[in-house]
Amino acid sequence: MSDFTHDAWSLYIAVITLISIAACAVLLLGLSSRGAGDAGTTGHVWDEDIEEGNHPLPRWWLWLFVITIVFSLAYLALYPGLGRYAGYLSWGSDGQYQAEQASAATQYGPLIDKYLKQDIKTVAADPRAREMGQRLFLNYCAQCHGSDAGGSRGFPSLRDGDWLYGGEPEAIRASIAGGRNGLMPPMGPSVGSEDDVRDVMHYVFSLGGRAHDGLRAFRGKQKFDTICAACHGAKGTGNPQIGAPNLTDDIWLHGASDASIIESITRGRGGMMPAHKGFLDEGKIHLLTAYVYGLPR
């Protein structure tokens, strides 16, 4: 969108808007210049003698258009609409948002401050605090994690007890406030051939107790120990410090099918949890952390 930030675009939008309104006024004037007795025809004829009339618009309809034009000019004079012109009232959605935020802070600030002084586990056990946290979750988190926090493919469930970066209050708070950037590099070239990748997959299946080919798992263990254990650990239990998932609990963020796991090994995976500290204050992050921590699992 950087191509549309030049000041000339503001003038262009303002001119086009005013020309459009003026064109409507000229058209209206042309349609209202004939009296009721000046009706003619368009020249279109059907069934030999049925002619299409060209009658002037009803007066009430003309006045409706006049009111629309007057309203448009008044609106553009008072509110933004002509490029960068802010309008006589200098109204803006950002200003309205800030005013609403200030009003909410005045109304709910003391209550949020009370919870901010309590530890996460205490807040998580408070029904009223959980209700407030749920509203925050539905506004800011449900788009990815689902309204029930059950997640979806590529977006982790917050109810299964499986935490990529740890499930303790401080770890959850760090994820919400600072965000996370998860990266599984493509390991296909390092693992080797397609058969080698399948061997590693079967070994991973064996870690979680899934049905697997014993011979393939035996061959895949060497590759896993050499290449994968650095992140996932020698026993495949993961590493919360870097967000490496536990491979022994049969919980799969990107799908549990053979094709999905082969794709993860071969092409890698990437995921980003945005930081919320830029638009949520400490009190709201505290309530949101307590709500997520208190979810049943």
Q: How far apart are CA 177 and CA 280, in angstroms?
A: 8
Q: How far apart are CA 118 and CA 110, in angstroms?
A: 13
State whether 167 and 195 are in the same domain: no
The per-residue pLDDT for 222 is 95
State whether 63 and 199 are in the same domain: no
The per-residue pLDDT for 2 is 54
Assigned token pair, 224: 């896993």
**Domain contains 93:** no
- In order, the DSSP letters of 82-146 are BTTB--TT---HHHHHHHHHHHHHHHHHHHHHHHHTS-HHHHHT-HHHHHHHHHHHHHHTHHHH-
The per-residue pLDDT for 209 is 92
**Domain contains 220:** yes
The per-residue pLDDT for 277 is 94
Q: What is the pTM of this model?
A: 0.71
**Domain contains 84:** no
Contacts of 162 (CB under 8 A, 6+ apart): 156, 245, 246, 249, 251
State whether 144 and 111 are in the same domain: yes
State whether 32 and 147 are in the same domain: no
**Domain contains 101:** no
The per-residue pLDDT for 39 is 58
Q: How many CB atoms lie within 10 A of CB 52?
A: 10
The per-residue pLDDT for 32 is 73
What residues make up the domain containing 150?
A: 106-179+274-293
Successive 10-residue mean pLDDT values, the chain, 297 residues: 70 92 89 60 79 78 91 94 88 85 84 92 96 95 96 94 94 96 94 96 95 96 96 95 94 94 96 92 95 93
Domains contained in the chain, number: 3
